Structure 1
Amino acid sequence: MITLTAAGGVALVELGMALTPGPNMIHLASRAITQGRRAGLVSLSGTAVGFVCYLVAAAAGLSALFAAVPVAFTVVKLAGAAYLAYLAWEMLRPGGRSPFTPRHDLPPVSDARLFSMGLLTNLLNPKIALMYAALLPQFLDPQAGPPWAQLLQLGGVQIVVGIAVNAIIMLGAARVSGFLATRPRVMAAQRFTAGGLLGAFAVRTALSQGPATP
């Protein structure tokens, strides 16, 4: 069994990462604003399955694979950093958009499409890849049982926190969007803050060290 210290550490790390604007937040907020909360919840279900996929991969030895083949981790790391840098530029460039800017150009799509988009967005999210490949193994305790069992428990904590935070953001997206739409200066400040955070995370991702071995 994992300790409360390990569970609390993972919860705090995931809370900080979930509150940092990223692909999941942008996708869920955009869909909820465009198609309503139901569409956001369907997308969120795909996001949840994406978390489970990463959890299963981690328990099967994803971080050990990256440790054994450092170039694989480097490729994932740099690809993730480039993606985050692109998202930052999309917000910071002239005419860029906030995650909470109403997107009337997004056409309504089916539930199956919403689910698959939520799943794919999460699977391609560099923050989540790094969480499972590099961060969760840091909380493993040799005295607490098999690494795979600990990873399942730690991943469970991450999923609960991640889904809860994303759900709150998604459910409040329409209200936040309406509030910001009448306050352009606040919208601009939010956009530049979000873009700056994404840019900082891109740099930190690119400079991060290799994953620990479970």
Structure 2
Amino acid sequence: MPDFQHLLLFIGAGILLNLTPGPDVLYIVTHALKSGVRAGVVAALGINAGCFVHIFAAAVGVSALLAASATAFTVLKWAGAAYLVWVGVRLVFAKGTPQRWGSPGGSPSAAGAAPPYEQPSLWSIFRGGFLTNALNPKVAIFFLAFVPQFIAPETEHKAFAFLALGTVFNVNSVAINAGWALAAAWMTRHGAVQRGMHWLDRAAGALFVAFGLRLALADNPSR
């Protein structure tokens, strides 16, 4: 483990990186806006669970294989890109109104109202967040490149140090991701946001498709 000063630097850098918007943040915010803070927090927990996959993989050398093998990287890259595009297309063509059950006019008995969205289960939200992160090979390469910078060359048990630092990074990110969910859920209290919610799926879906295409066109960052 690094000394206290370097540990603080590691934590600070991790916080800044977690504040950067990407497909993970978009996934959390979308579910929090549509289904409330609990759904957003569950989405965040799913993403963090997927992050642990990369932490353990990097600790045992699987991420090094992804960095060195063009074939392994490409296979996981296309799987991740296909999943993001699939999520995006589903959002773009979603039917119904995105009003939550507890919001004004969200009742299915409202006259002339379109049928509401079927609320996804918390398990499906968690699973989707997990896959969004676990199928992204760039996350694996990130951990392989970022975490070792804070492990001293003379450290005897480097795999244990990697796991410890990766866990610190992931635990800190839970709070930040939950903050995204809280902020998004707070926004739904404003009428203007509620009235514009029918565009949320289309915009989020287009962004997911864009993230998927960007991942599909990405080169192995280790080369």
TM range (shorter): 0.5 to 0.7
Q: Which residue of 2 aligns with 1:102?
A: 100
| CA shift for structure 1 position 79 | 1.6
Q: State the one-letter code of the partner of 1:122.
A: G
Extract unaligned runs of 5+ from structure 1. Answer: none
Q: Which residue of 2 aligns with 1:156?
A: 167
Change (3 A) 1:118 1:196: closer
Tell me if structure 1 keeps the 8 A contact 2:43–2:129.
Answer: no
**What is the RMSD of the two structures over their aligned residues, measured on CA atoms?**
4.0
| CA shift for structure 1 position 63 | 0.4
Tell me if structure 1 keeps the 8 A contact 2:23–2:211.
Answer: no
Q: Which residue of 2 aligns with 1:130?
A: 137
Pairing 1:84–2:84 present: yes
| CA shift for structure 1 position 135 | 0.9
Extract unaligned runs of 5+ from structure 2. Answer: 102-115
What's the CA shift string for 1:119-174, capped at 9, x where partnerless? Answer: 42233114773354111222223745455345324423431343123312333444
CA distance in 2, matches of 1:123, 1:168: 18
Q: Which residue of 2 aligns with 1:55?
A: 55
Change (3 A) 1:197 1:9: farther
- For normalisation by structure 2, the TM-score amounts to 0.64
Tell me if structure 1 keeps the 8 A contact 2:47–2:129.
Answer: yes
- More moved, 20-29 vs 81-90: 20-29
Give the structure with the higher percent helix: 1
Tell me the percent identity.
29
Q: Which residue of 1 aligns with 2:127?
A: 120
What's the CA shift string for 1:67-116, capped at 9, x where partnerless? Answer: 354322211111211222233334445x6789x7537543585xxxx3x4
- For normalisation by structure 1, the TM-score amounts to 0.66
Please identify the structure whose Cα radius of gyration is greater. 2
Secondary structure, aligned partner of 2:220: coil
Q: Of 210, 215, 218, which aligns to 1:205?
A: 215
Q: Which residue of 1 aligns with 2:17?
A: 13
- More moved, 194-203 vs 21-30: 21-30
What's the CA shift string for 1:36-80, capped at 9, x where partnerless? Answer: 73x665665555444334322322222023235432221111121
